[in-house]
Amino acid sequence: MSANLADVFGKQGFVAANVEVVEANGFTAIPSDDYTVQITDSEIVKNKSNTGSNLKLKLVVQGGKYNGCIIYDILCIQHQNQQAENIAKTKLKRVSDALGIATLSDTSQLHDQNVIASIVREIDNYATEKENQYVTKPEDRVVIYRNNVKTYKPSSIKGVSANNASFNDDIPF
């Protein structure tokens, strides 16, 4: 099965070179790769439909070309869809395992800790559809990207948390 893109984009079809990448709200999605990130903040918030809770992790890229870029990972830790909840709990387990935390009682235990996050840059279908809702000319269509954290792994680069920093100023008093 195939689809004729001329029906959507005109007789030339889709010409990638003619599309300007548009990022939502000034956000720039970084390329797919593994990045050392520091978990700097977290909060539990109700989901949009108010039927469960999400754990929102704020991740900041450490080093390299994208140093300082912020990525959010939203985990559906309580959800009416059991599969969504299981995916979130699996991700949270991978974060805990990467940091060597057997029992996580408060998300502050994650703060200022570094992990490797496998990031995938993907089309944000919801935002793209919303942006294109009133577009009538094919050449005015936009594609919006977002970052999605697929998994977490341990990092050899330690965070700057007071919990794992040792203080030794070599002063004998």
Residue 7 covered by a domain: no
- CA dist., res. 139 & res. 59, Å (int): 35
Establish if 70 belongs to a structural domain.
yes
Mean pLDDT of 76-80: 91
CATH number of the domain at 129, please.
2.40.50
pLDDT classification of 164: cutoffs 50, 70, 90: very low
Q: Per the structure, how many domains does the chain have?
A: 1
168 part of a folded domain: no
Question: Is residue 5 assigned to a domain?
Answer: no
**pLDDT band with cut points at 50, 70 and 90 for residue 16:** low
Domain that holds residue 146: 27-151
Question: For residue 20, is it within any domain?
Answer: no
Most confident of 12-16, 42-46, 165-169: 42-46
**Percent of the chain clearing pLDDT 90 (strictly above):** 51
Q: Which whole number is the average pLDDT over 20-40? A: 78
In a domain, 167, yes or no: no
For the segment 21-30, the average pLDDT, to the nearest whole number, is 62
Q: Is residue 70 pLDDT above 90, yes or no?
A: yes
Question: Residue 127 has what pLDDT?
Answer: 81
Bridge partners of residue 148, in order along the sequence: 120
Q: What does the alpha-carbon distance between residue 42 and residue 134 come to, in Å, rounded to a whole number?
A: 36
Q: Give the pLDDT score at 158.
A: 76
Give the pLDDT band of residue 20 (cuts 50, 70, 90).
low
Task: Check: CB of residue 89 under 8 Å from CB of residue 77.
Answer: yes
pLDDT beyond 70 at 22: no
CB 72 within 8 A of CB 58: yes
pLDDT at 162: 36
Q: Is residue 81 part of a domain?
A: yes
What pLDDT, on the 0 to 100 scale, is given for residue 5?
57
Q: Does any domain span residue 160?
A: no
Identify the band that residue 41 occupies on the pLDDT scale cut at 50, 70 and 90.
very high
Cα angle 24, 83, 51; round to 5: 70
Q: List the end-to-end C-alpha distance of the chain, in Å, as a whole number.
A: 78
Q: What is the 3-state secondary structure (H, E, C) of the chain?
A: CCCCCHHHHCCCCCCHHHCCCCCHHHCCCCCCEEEEEEEEEEEEEECCCCCCEEEEEEEEECCCCCCCCEEEEEEEEECCCHHHHHHHHHHHHHHHHHHCCCCCCCHHHHCCEEEEEEEEEEECHHHHHHHCCCCCCHHHCCCCEEEEEEEEEECCCCCCCCCCCCCCCCCCC
pTM above 0.85, yes or no: no
